[in-house]
Amino acid sequence: MLGVGPKCSTWLCALLLVCGLSGPVSANSTVDFTQVVEDITLQAESAIANYKPQSGLYTATQISDIYFDVFEASGMEMAIGVNDPALKTELESLFASVIGAASNGYPKEQVVQAWQSLATQLNAAAKAQVQANKQQGELGFWGGFLQSFFILLREGFEAMLVVMALTTYLQRQGAQKQQNVIYLGVVLALIASAVTAWLLNHVLSLAGTEQEALEGVTMLVAAALLFYVSFWLLSKRDAARWQQWIEGQVGHALSKGNVLTLGLTGFLAVYREGAETVLFYQALLAQSAGQVTSIGFGFIAASIALLGLYFVMKHIAQKLPLGLFFGITAILLFYLALSFAGTGVLELQEAGWITITPLNWVPRASWLGLYPSVETVTAQLSLLLPLVLSVGWWAMKRK
Residue (of 153, 236, 225, 152) closest to 185 by Cα position: 225
Q: Which residue has the higher pLDDT, 244 or 9?
A: 244
pLDDT tens readout for residues 100-138: 999 999 999 999 999 999 999 999 998 887 776 666 555
- Give the pLDDT score at 22: 44
pTM, 2 dp: 0.74
pLDDT for 269:
79
Query: Residue 250 has what pLDDT?
Result: 44
108 vs 331, higher pLDDT:
108
On the question of pLDDT at 9 being above 50, the answer is no
Residue 53: pLDDT above 90?
A: yes
Between 102 and 266, residue with greater pLDDT: 102
- Rounded to an integer, the average pLDDT of 278-285 is 77
pLDDT at 151: 86
pLDDT of residue 45: 95
Mean pLDDT of the region 239-251: 49
298 or 196, which is more confident? 298
